[in-house]
A and B are shown apart, each in its own frame.
Chain A
């Protein structure tokens, strides 16, 4: 590039950085293609670049103490499990049944206990409080008396601690119909609890939340956390609970809401029936919280380390099953494998080689991790804790021995209990809250991760061409314009020039209108759900029709009134300006989204960038009638079709579960789930992706 300006020595050279910018802008086509390709390639390279996890915080010291959980505790826990399993829900049909059993056991162990009654609170889309923190619970007006759930919360006060911090154990169970797995998870927590009431090393209080999940696990935990952090003292609705409480004889009512300091970490324990034919029991880890937030990597590391090294469990994180036998992935994996072996033959120290199976597994896990984060919907009750800046993780022990657990129950309880004990011991050692390790990462396997510094590269490469192309298009249109201008009026007066240079405002207005429409589309479902309540399919149709109608109205009302007296000779090039502003808007949207939820921005960039860069009026290409223009038309049409949000959704769903199962109304349900979980992805889809899609369609259909 230095050589470019060698030709004209007399001219003063502009600064090198300006020259570099000019060079890039003038070669924007090649640069953008190269960048996009490199971005996608870098994304595929991520499993190769993943690093092994390591325990970053020294104070954790996992596995340094031998587990103290004895068979005594476990056999007591087994008795408790048997009591829970054989608990007759029919005869003891009073609203408080199994909770009383749990509470009694906690009190017998010497812990403090309280009941927390709550009303299941429907997640509601509240567009105005979108990014604000969790707010105070608003008790709904109409509810039936029997619909409230009762959490049982047990506390162990650390004997010599100062009670400033607490560790939370959560065991969700259905109080109406407790399954064997839920009973076993209660049993694990009970065995831990009985151990921890006796130990003297505890520095943080321990809270055991037996969450009543008859209205959903998430709702129960969320209600308790809301009461813990933002209680309301006005007493609306509480008095109702008091009157509802069934008078029991003799027993002390535990209705005071107890608390125990700032939470250091939370563990959700679950036991499920394993279906796999694995030799060992499997521990599934779920970590994604709302809007792609993750717990500190150290928490996952500790659990993984203890499960693998201490308890001989097989740790798994969720992966995208359909990717495991994709042919293209396999060939890619073989390519990377060959490259790796070649590099190692050159220098034995370059061992970035990766085996084929490892790469495929890593990619499947990475894709799932990316997808879960991008969706912005928490993958379990641990998600609530992240909203209160508490690191939490769900540990799901899946055992195939569950079906006949009566023969060998102690083993599972002992294994699970010792794992949880080890994690609590480690967290108990912490002097500071989790801060040492990563918060922004993607997992490619339970012990491999891609940190933010690495996974930013594909996104940066994908987004980099956008401003360049926007500048290039802008320069291009101004260039041609000034060229035509010079032809028409040789003595150009100053007002005309200024007017001409502000011509992009018109395009900007169009872009603004469409984005404004995007905001309207975002809010429409809120009003729809207020007004009517019908089938998803009908809702979806109404939404689409209303959106289209609004777009038309906006176009008519705002679009025509301000339209400038056009200059006929320049109209042909208006689309370049429009495209330029569209791309600038898309770039801004993506960059903002990358701050809120990086995974969404990453996946969004994969779709939005090619679509925006490709867009070009169909008529121009149709006139050209060359092979290149034909390919461009085809690409444009395919991209526009693919990246219309509903189509994308159905294709994705089809790839995951097969198109036969996908129904039309599913899209509505999916969107509904997004906004009820306050996912920023919904806003991104409606306010960035959809307007850009519409603008691209507008560009394609541009009359030339």
Chain B
């Protein structure tokens, strides 16, 4: 411990020294950490860790780093990565309850498993090779089977629906990848303090993996190779988003009014640990508690009814409010400024700078009375399901249902004055699900619509068997007052070769999540362009505009599976056929056909053919049976002898069994 501290002290000294030099150059390496906590409507708490490392471009800064992870730097340089995002997710983001409109959910809600996308600064024909190398490198770096994304059946190249203005992009997902600590440890290794100090010390493995949603994300932006623009170097953003259920005694308390008491929580009850100070290498180390806009307005309306208070009042006594209280007093209270809407979120900022080992930080958040609210939802709620049954064919249906709220409408009025909403749907389908893209149907409010009226832009690249997956990108232009949109696509279930089946073939096959994107609806937190606000990377990140995204469910398609004991049967049958073949071959070799024919001719049979011969033989036998009884005793005598022999052997065997068995 002492040694670690001495190293840290040395590093701090070094850093301060570095910063003196840095002020001359105006650019230095930076690292910052932040944790954002947000109570969720369904008695859970969202914890969002945010770490950001920045390094100035190599041209000015050189290639020696003190904070920025070397492995990532080398990765970027080797494969000329422009932008890359890798996420490991366990569980599903509940868009209906946890919100789908705020920047955190649209950035950090990811499909289950691994999702990786990257853009490369290389000529078109080298992109695939770079992608393959990158998957292998990341696979080794994160102890995950990302290398399975190298196969051309596993990734695709979306044109415009996944990310606007992105050339040379590759996108792939692995939905069955199990996410565990072995993926978290390498991720933590990229942080300068690992999980030994600072906020990452909160990451107690059992606690964070016990959660309802767990998504660990790594986002990298580099314009190292962009020689024209003012280069800003590399930015590595690492986030961990978990949804935890606070441990409460006597769960499910329902108050007399029928409102459910929200559970109170503290850092130690959520994570089982406390923060003993900041990571000394970080520029900023803050904890934020965010109250959602709907919650704030709910609290304001209820407090208005009970006591004469307005926004100022709420602000002034915010942490000893009627509804809740916090154990520590925040450094700052940041209020969102939003022109049109009354609702705005509140952020309480706590700085870790004042806490240390002797005085650990353990924020407690106590509810005083029951509150119910709901999160901000995306304009349309997307869900996707399979239709049909049986092993032959089926259909994929994507339904977009309006949540009955028109707050987003003003941003999307087009020139003609009609309110409309653009929705991009991005869907990758593996090749063994053979989608017939011409069967695309769009139902608006339960009426079949002409595709040309609704679809603004469409890009389809059909799948190629065993080579590439099918890719569909649709831009829909929907009227704002639409209630229910359903897209259906029919497909046939393909057959795989027996060695293409995975070991758990009977589980069925996955169709990866579709991505529904609302490109015209941007979400961000509106804050004052304050000087101190900009210092905090998490806040500046939240202030960036990003389109609202929605990942749909992964689907499971049961395909026909062969009987996997079939090879055994085939071997058996093949052996039988071979035995028959060799038997008859030997028979044919052994017989002397000329001799038999000569014998036959000498007998001068008048049979005219095989059937005639058989029939005549049959008739002879029938007649013979009737006329010549002496032939019977001969045969019966022989068969009696045979039967006697069999009985004797059986008797001996039975006796042997009985006496010695």
Partner of A133, one of B385, B390, B486, B657: B390
Q: What count of chain B residues pass the 8 Å CB interface test? A: 66
Partner of B635, one of A4, A26, A349, A431: A4
**How distant is the Cα of A201 from the Cα of B608 in the complex, in angstroms?**
79
User: Is the CB–CB distance between A431 and B504 below 8 Å?
Assistant: yes
Kindly list chain B residues whose C-beta atoms are within 8 Å of the C-beta of A133: 389-390
User: Is the CB–CB distance between B388 and A160 below 8 Å?
Assistant: no
Kindly list chain B residues whose C-beta atoms are within 8 Å of the C-beta of A388: 389
Q: Interface readout for A157-179 with B: 1 if CB under 8 Å, 0 if not?
A: 10111111100000000000000
Do A200 and B507 contact each other (CB < 8 Å), given the known contacts A162-B554, A229-B389?
no
Do A234 and B448 contact each other (CB < 8 Å), given the known contacts A108-B254, A432-B507?
yes
Task: Look across to chain A and name the residue whose beta carbon is closest to the beta carbon of B563.
Answer: A435
Task: Look across to chain B and name the residue whose beta carbon is closest to the beta carbon of A348.
Answer: B661
Task: Look across to chain B and name the residue whose beta carbon is closest to the beta carbon of A110.
Answer: B42
Q: Report B430-449 residues with CB < 8 Å from chain A CB.
A: 443, 445-448
B488 contacts partner chain A, Cβ-Cβ < 8 Å: yes
A143 contacts partner chain B, Cβ-Cβ < 8 Å: no
User: Is the CB–CB distance between A164 and B555 below 8 Å?
Assistant: yes
Kindly list chain B residues whose C-beta atoms are within 8 Å of the C-beta of A4: 621, 635
A502 contacts partner chain B, Cβ-Cβ < 8 Å: no
Q: Interface readout for B438-480 with A: 1 if CB under 8 Å, 0 if not?
A: 0000010111100000000000000000000000000000000
Kindly list chain A residues whose C-beta atoms are within 8 Å of the C-beta of B647: none
Q: Interface readout for A598-613 with B: 1 if CB under 8 Å, 0 if not?
A: 0000000000000000
Closest CB-CB distance, A408 to chain B, in whole Å? 26
Closest CB-CB distance, A587 to chain B, in whole Å? 22
Kindly list chain A residues whose C-beta atoms are within 8 Å of the C-beta of B602: 10
Task: Please report A residues at the B interface, Cβ cutoff 8 Å.
Answer: 3-4, 6-7, 10-12, 14, 18, 22, 26, 108-110, 133-134, 157, 159-165, 198, 200, 229-231, 233-235, 238-239, 256, 259, 261-262, 346-347, 349, 387-389, 431-433, 435, 475, 478-479, 482-483
**How distant is the Cα of A234 from the Cα of B441 in the complex, in angstroms?**
11
User: Is the CB–CB distance between A160 and B91 below 8 Å?
Assistant: yes
B639 contacts partner chain A, Cβ-Cβ < 8 Å: yes
Task: Look across to chain B and name the residue whose beta carbon is closest to the beta carbon of A166.
Answer: B556
Kindly list chain A residues whose C-beta atoms are within 8 Å of the C-beta of B383: 259
**How distant is the Cα of A198 from the Cα of B252 in the complex, in angstroms?**
10
Do A163 and B553 contact each other (CB < 8 Å), given the known contacts A233-B443, A346-B657?
yes
B349 contacts partner chain A, Cβ-Cβ < 8 Å: no
Kindly list chain A residues whose C-beta atoms are within 8 Å of the C-beta of B533: none
User: Is the CB–CB distance between A12 and B596 below 8 Å?
Assistant: yes
Task: Look across to chain B and name the residue whose beta carbon is closest to the beta carbon of A4.
Answer: B635
**How distant is the Cα of A475 from the Cα of B42 in the complex, in angstroms?**
82
User: Is the CB–CB distance between B561 and A435 below 8 Å?
Assistant: yes
**How distant is the Cα of A387 from the Cα of B113 in the complex, in angstroms?**
32
User: Is the CB–CB distance between A234 and B447 below 8 Å?
Assistant: yes
Q: Interface readout for B587-621 with A: 1 if CB under 8 Å, 0 if not?
A: 00000000010011011010000000011011101
Kindly list chain B residues whose C-beta atoms are within 8 Å of the C-beta of A262: 386, 508, 555-558
Do A389 and B639 contact each other (CB < 8 Å), given the known contacts A231-B387, A238-B446, A433-B507?
no
User: Is the CB–CB distance between B90 and A160 below 8 Å?
Assistant: yes
**How distant is the Cα of A133 from the Cα of B508 in the complex, in angstroms?**
20
**How distant is the Cα of A165 from the Cα of B553 in the complex, in angstroms?**
11
Closest CB-CB distance, B656 to chain A, in whole Å? 10
User: Is the CB–CB distance between B614 and A349 below 8 Å?
Assistant: no
Closest CB-CB distance, A289 to chain B, in whole Å? 14
B634 contacts partner chain A, Cβ-Cβ < 8 Å: yes
Kindly list chain A residues whose C-beta atoms are within 8 Å of the C-beta of B614: 14, 18, 22
**How distant is the Cα of A690 from the Cα of B397 in the complex, in angstroms?**
46
Closest CB-CB distance, A214 to chain B, in whole Å? 26
Kindly list chain A residues whose C-beta atoms are within 8 Å of the C-beta of B321: none
Closest CB-CB distance, A316 to chain B, in whole Å? 31
User: Is the CB–CB distance between B488 and A162 below 8 Å?
Assistant: no
Kindly list chain B residues whose C-beta atoms are within 8 Å of the C-beta of A261: 553, 555-556
Partner of B388, one of A159, A230, A479: A230
User: Is the CB–CB distance between B661 and A22 below 8 Å?
Assistant: no
Q: List 10 A-B contacts (CB under 8 A).
A: A7-B631, A11-B617, A26-B618, A26-B622, A231-B387, A233-B486, A234-B448, A235-B445, A262-B556, A262-B557
**How distant is the Cα of A478 from the Cα of B619 in the complex, in angstroms?**
11
Closest CB-CB distance, B588 to chain A, in whole Å? 12
User: Is the CB–CB distance between B175 and A162 below 8 Å?
Assistant: yes
User: Is the CB–CB distance between B622 and A160 below 8 Å?
Assistant: no
**How distant is the Cα of A6 from the Cα of B622 in the complex, in angstroms?**
15
User: Is the CB–CB distance between B389 and A479 below 8 Å?
Assistant: no
Q: Report B497-548 residues with CB < 8 Å from chain A CB.
A: 504-508, 510
Q: Interface readout for B132-159 with A: 1 if CB under 8 Å, 0 if not?
A: 0000000000000000000000000000
B198 contacts partner chain A, Cβ-Cβ < 8 Å: no
- Among B92, B401, B634, find the residue whose CB has the most chain A CB atoms closer than 10 A: B92
B658 contacts partner chain A, Cβ-Cβ < 8 Å: yes
User: Is the CB–CB distance between A235 and B447 below 8 Å?
Assistant: yes
Closest CB-CB distance, A561 to chain B, in whole Å? 32
B638 contacts partner chain A, Cβ-Cβ < 8 Å: yes
Partner of B389, one of A3, A134, A431, A475: A134
Closest CB-CB distance, A259 to chain B, in whole Å? 5
Task: Look across to chain B and name the residue whose beta carbon is closest to the beta carbon of A21.
Answer: B614
**How distant is the Cα of A108 from the Cα of B92 in the complex, in angstroms?**
21
User: Is the CB–CB distance between A230 and B508 below 8 Å?
Assistant: no
Task: Look across to chain B and name the residue whose beta carbon is closest to the beta carbon of A159.
Answer: B212
